Chains A and B, each alone.
Chain A
Amino acid sequence: MITTTGLTKIYRAHRSHGREVTALDGVDLHVREGEVYGVIGQSGAGKSSLIRCINLLERPTAGTVTVAGQDLTALAGRGPRAGKELRQARSRIGMVFQHFNLLSSRTVQDNVELPLEILGKSGKERSRKALELLDLVGLADKAKAYPAQLSGGQKQRVGIARALAGDPKVLLSDEATSALDPETTRSILQLLRDLNRQLGLTVLLITHEMDVVKSICDSAALMEKGRIVESGTVSELLATPGSELASALFPVGGEASAEDRTVVDVTFQGEAATQPVISQLSRTYNIDISILGAAIDTVGGLQVGRMRIELPGRYEDNVVPIGFLREQGLQIDVLGQEPVLLKEGAQL
């Protein structure tokens, strides 16, 4: 649904000779239709530039952006101003913002009607659609209120209703929950998830909060210094040994209790989660296993368990039991050892 190839954005500071900031460095992103895709990274990683390049609020220096089969970079034209075709394409992409960006001079209903005004819809059609959308986001009673009279969560609901006014297939969310408290964040994420399911909406969101990815994303990408370091569906990521994103999504704690011990992270997914592997391991090899930390959680709708266990002896002494665990179809990460398979670019 959204594909970028080699997307690059270089900012040239004014009058600074040769000083350049590379915000995006050849980003290839692929968002499938109907999924919620999260791009996570620290501030300065290039997330904002990425999402702004998707609807060409920022002109990419190089690379292409395709949304719903339409090459937007080809529509952009050469000048800095957006041509008619690009503007039409933008109206089919909804966008919600961290700071809501509602017009304070307009009522809630008039804010939702704004995109419809731009599309040239009649007054009757506008108000019907706006009220319908406000009902959808649970704010039907606030239609005549002004944004300043609403709470942060309510403002973002208005922002979402406004983004949906043009019946978009794609919704871009620029840190939509970053200015909200945890509880409101949950309700907004729930709303986005519901909309994704009900309307078949494809959602691309950027965030710096791992919880956001954990609670609603089907797929995720990790961004660092303008590059995508890891990406994939959540279950793919969890199955990737040494995945930074997987361990951040699903952290387990616990330090080795003594020098000559081997610490192993075991990740259970699907079938494997039901087998009594730890007691089998203990019985088969007659070793004492201590559990340092463990958690079961739902990540992207998947039931996942992760356990950090400690085996006596060094890694060399435990090659066979670790091999046994791998045979059981579990994902094993041995701490302090290089992962067996390195995902491309993971070391950069």
Chain B
Amino acid sequence: MQPLLEQACWDTLYMVGWSTLIAVAGGLPLGILLVLTDRGGLLQNVLANKVIGQIVNVARSMPFIILMVALMSFTRWVTGTTIGREAAIVPLAIGAIPFFARLVETAVREVDGGLVEAVQSMGGNTWTVVRKVLVPESLPSLIAGTTTTIVALIGYSAMAGTVGAGGLGDIAIRYGYQRFETELMWLTVAILAVVISLIQFAGDYAARSLHRRSGHSGPGPKLRLLKASTATSKTV
């Protein structure tokens, strides 16, 4: 039982890790582009904004299990197979890119327009604005958004078992549900809870310490959606 769970843990981390990396790499520019091409943005382009926004919306509302099946031929083209861990990473990453892009968009929109104006008045171009203002100034929120994305990806990865990718969710379904091994199921649930808490804690800590470093005393970025309930129970 132990090697089984150990392997499942690694499978989950492997899938989530890679898909997070790809989601951040894809979602960050996409989210920034959504802000820049919007009306009044530095690269205002209403048509491009609408198109990107629409793609993001459709991709976000797609149920993951359907996305996974729909992307099979693409997955095969990328990884050469449609089963196993690598094959699961493709739909996971593609599902998470628009999710993360929206979080990036919200975070970047929070940046004060006056800062953009200041950099422009120094002779900075759009790329300078992105590099020196938009990303560093929204970094605490971006980190919080990444945490949210990782947690969401752990949830999605439970379905990756359907393409034989393994992972903790797969164990819970195959052994816990289909074989009535209730103990094993609860064990995986416990492990998932611990993993998610750790990730959330690490993400919150990083976001808050960045926020504090810049001298703020407030509660930090607002994007800790999943922590909302614990945060309120603490204050009561």
Contacts and interface: CB of A to CB of B under 8 A. Distances in A.
Contact of A103 (B42, B123, B137): B137
A148 B125 contact: no
A118 B119 contact: yes
Secondary structure of the A side of the interface? Answer: loop
Contact of B114 (A14, A82, A101): A101
B44 A93 contact: no
B48 to A, nearest CB: 14
A325 B39 CA distance: 61
Contacts of A80: 44
Interface in A243-273: none
Interface in B84-133: 112, 114-115, 117-126, 128, 132-133
A97 interface: yes
Greatest chain A CB density within 10 A among B42, B43, B132 is at B132
Contact of B136 (A57, A82, A88, A105): A105
Contacts of A106: 136
A91 B122 contact: yes
A106 B39 CA distance: 28
Given A90-B123, A97-B117, A117 B132 contact: yes
Contacts of A149: 215
A81 interface: yes
A115 B136 CA distance: 16
Contacts, number: 79
Contacts of B118: 95, 97, 101
B214 interface: yes
A148 B137 contact: no
A87 interface: yes
B120 A90 contact: yes
A293 B132 CA distance: 56
A103 B136 contact: yes
A88 B125 CA distance: 10
Contacts of A81: 42-43, 125-126
Given A146-B213, A146-B215, A101 B123 contact: no
Interface in A209-252: none
Given A95-B122, A115-B122, 19 more contacts: A57-B120, A80-B44, A81-B43, A87-B123, A89-B123, A90-B121, A91-B122, A95-B118, A97-B114, A97-B118, A101-B115, A105-B137, A105-B139, A114-B122, A114-B132, A146-B213, A149-B215, A162-B122, A166-B122
Interface of A: 14, 55, 57, 80-82, 87-91, 93, 95, 97, 99, 101, 103-106, 114-115, 117-119, 145-149, 162, 166, 172
A-B pairs, top 10 by smallest CB distance, nearest first, are A148-B215, A91-B123, A146-B215, A101-B118, A95-B121, A115-B122, A87-B123, A101-B114, A90-B123, A105-B136
